[in-house]
Chain A
Amino acid sequence: MHRSTFLKFAGAALATTLFASTAAVAIDVDAAIPSYQKASGVSGSIKSIGSDTLNNLMTLWAEGFSKEYPNVNIEIEGKGSGTAPPALIAGTSQFGPMSRPMKAGEMDDFERKYGYKPTPMRTAVDALAVFVHKDSPVKCLSLAQLDAIFSKTRKRGAKADAKTWGDVGVTGEMAAMPISMYGRNSASGTYGYFKEVAMEDGDYKDSVKEQPGSSAVVQSIASDKGAIGYSGVGYKTADVKTVPISAKEGGTCYDATSDNAYAGNYPITRFLYVYLNKNPKQALDPVRAEFIKFVLSKQGQQGVIKDGFFPVPAKVALDDRKAFGLN
């Protein structure tokens, strides 16, 4: 469902202009996203608890925001998307960054306490990248092959379990090498999203090595030639490479680039969300309103690029500003 909403937002014009560019050229923020205008009388404190994927991004926004308002006291904690809803419900945080949409159960818990649902803000686009070691000869994997590598239930219908690289079509000296899988811990939204989209909600194998952070996944892969793992594309380093992914067996493989993400070709693309507790009957307090405006402004979206993710299209940014009653 979330992928279909995603496709809807990928403006055709935007996609074509982006297709013309090559991956080496730096991504730029959609020109229709307005620049941030400073407001007066903003002070107070912001506390954000949630996703680890969004941790650096929140920090970058906080740095930019405190440049505009040096007296706003900002604290950021990121231990996984699963920690965002409880903190929002308990009122210990105002912002709940999540790398996956909130589950129905979490929504209900929130609604039971406040009488309304939390409001999401789509802050960035992430192609959830599948990384392998930089010397790995893997050229392309299908979702079914990924499922066979990571899942013990194989809901995507792969016939056999993939234990060695030879099982997913690698030839040469690496064919006999066992696949060593790295993933995130279960509090992570990345873990949840990968499970939902790549594995159709199947179960992870017990042999997947769970890492406490996205960067830890990438570092583990960097030192293990037979490794494969997933995390936000923003965490890519020179020691790993992304594997192009095809949605169907034998289909075209698309790499985790901004063009493929916007066009919806890359099959595990997602939005990165920040959830807020907004009472529909009241206007937002100035600090939170300005922070949202900042995130969905040109400056905020440049922060997204700086962190290696992709900025949202202008339509998404403007729609979400409207959802919070901001222009």
Chain B
Amino acid sequence: MERWALVSGLGGDLEVYEQIQRELKKSRGLERLFVLGDLIGPRHNSDALLKRLQEPERGDLQPECIYGWWEEQLLAERGYRGERTAEALRINHGNDAVEGLLTSVDSGHMTWLASLQFGFIELDCALLHGSSADVGDELKPTSSPLILLDRLTRLDVNRLFTARSAQQFRLDLNGGAIDSHIKDLNGEQNQQQAAPKRSVIGIGSGELFSLYAPGSDHIEFLKAGGKPVSRGLGFG
């Protein structure tokens, strides 16, 4: 049965990536590896990891990458986002963090980073860093269900995989309804709309990663170098 590996928040840490690759080699049925952004970060020089992602070693599961919040900040600061700069990073972490980010990535990687997409749509799943609203949108188990449903509705998908919160969780929207009364110049009408059954899944970050089987809708939360943090969650 096909399975996907979902990784994010490597932050330039090649060691963690290599550990994950080693563990993926032991897993059966893995066909795709999605790296949902934050490949880079201010704590590590990211050049070696970026090289490995672009030029996988023999036996590596080929990574399919999108950009995350840190890439967005770097691209903005280096002039790849029109007039925008890394304002969010500057406000939250100060100028030193901006400088640290700039020095952690060689300019030779910028063209590749700028070519990365916002997300992937695979089957009925959206694979994103934040959400359909913004790369920096943090979706958590405590987020309003109304917001989660909105983020799913914007892309008309049944599953939204997110990484920005760094948490591993599965939240199923599994029922509910709302009444809508509309009055216009032609008269009045009532409608009832049922809440669709959809899910938001947090895949974790760094050494926390996830495996997903789209055929069975089964998610497994893992930690690189450790034991599974869940025995597998499936509601299908």
Partners in one complex: no
